Amino acid sequence: QQIFKEIKKLRPGLVIVDSIQTLQSAFVESSPGSVSQIRECAAEWQRFAKETGT
């Protein structure tokens, strides 16, 4: 959520996430790196990319 705000400020054409397992979504209560966290983070990144054209 905070990372998306920062990316919107910079408006890059490309964003590379090196280690998605280190990210954490506020929408899932499990710990970072868990399967459910990785799935949710990937889904959030996909939505963000489609919405912003990044």
Give 7-32 pLDDT, tens digit per residue: 999 999 899 999 999 999 999 999 99
Please name the residues in contact with 20: beta carbons below 8 A apart, sequence gap of 6 or more.
38, 41, 42, 45
pLDDT at 1 (0 to 100)? 78
The Cα–Cα gap between 51 and 54 comes to: 8
pLDDT at 34 (0 to 100)? 96
pTM of the model: 0.84
For residue 12, how far is the Cα from the chain centroid? Answer: 15
Domain edges within the chain = 2-52
pLDDT at 15 (0 to 100)? 93
Please name the residues in contact with 48: beta carbons below 8 A apart, sequence gap of 6 or more.
4, 7, 54
